[in-house]
Structure 1
């Protein structure tokens, strides 16, 4: 991506991982790094794509299987699963989990609060997918 003066535009932190994860998630099967690179918009270097795929694998977000001399990658989680992992990681780093959860819940919209209540009562299982 470039702006009007042809300078590279920096992505937001995590944006590239999210783009790569979206490519993996929209694929019917595992992809090679070159296949991922071809499906991404922009002109990312092959090595950049391999680095992102390796990071996703190291984080447990993507699986990989040996295919010849390289790997093919597949998403383990979708975007909602990735967001849930991030939320759980933040929560895991807090000594007073109850307070963090209480503050989180008080800041939810009425609609999100209703969704959360339904999920907690087992009434909204279709949202959990």
Structure 2
């Protein structure tokens, strides 16, 4: 039989030899950021993909990096035909950014802050009070 080789059809049934694991929302972004923070400097998507492991497609990593860039969580710089990526802040800075986003989305800022403060354990409340006191002292100087 001459002619083109028939296309291979892929089954819509998942391959049972590979365990299927669906990541929780935001988990892949967290993994990508952790890999970038572990880098000695700016890293490309291939390097990030290698550090994360698994069977992620290169394009998936690039998509996640682009989304993080749109959120101002990473910066990018063209290097050759691709980009190298750098996180804009450490984990504490990222957590603070998330907290600020939630606070900004609330309809009543004072109510959100009040609820947050009253839900803190005493030790965290004391840390917050100390930080506010120090900020007041620095502003007075």
Which TM bucket (shorter chain)?
A: 0.7 to 0.9
Residue equivalent to 1:66: 78
Distance 1:116 1:5 in 2: 51
| Superimposed CA distance per residue, residues 50-102 of structure 1 (whole angstroms, 9 cap, x where no aligned partner) | 00000111110000000001000000012221111111111111121011100
Which structure ranks higher in relative contact order (CA pairs < 8 Å, sequence separation ≥ 6)?
1
CA shift, 1:5, in A, is 7.4
- Segments of 5+ residues of structure 1 without an aligned counterpart are 124-129
CA shift, 1:120, in A, is 1.3
Distance 1:42 1:112 in 2: 38
TM norm structure 2: 0.79
Q: Indicate if the aligned counterparts of 1:91 and 1:100 stay in contact, CA closer than 8 A.
A: yes
| Superimposed CA distance per residue, residues 14-72 of structure 1 (whole angstroms, 9 cap, x where no aligned partner) | 11101101111121200000000011132211111000000111110000000001000
Give the secondary structure class of the aligned counterpart of 1:60. Answer: coil
CA shift, 1:119, in A, is 1.4
* Greater Rg over alpha carbons, structure: 2
Distance 2:80 2:37 in 1: 23
The yes-or-no answer on 1:9 pairing with 2:43 is: no
Distance 2:43 2:57 in 1: 16
Residue equivalent to 1:78: 90
Residue equivalent to 2:40: 28
Q: Which runs of 4+ in 1 moved over 3 A?
A: 4-7
Distance 2:95 2:76 in 1: 21
Alpha-carbon RMSD across the aligned residues, in angstroms, is 1.7
Give the secondary structure class of the aligned counterpart of 1:63. Answer: strand
1:40 corresponds, among 47, 52, 73, to: 52
Q: Indicate if the aligned counterparts of 1:65 and 1:73 stay in contact, CA closer than 8 A.
A: yes
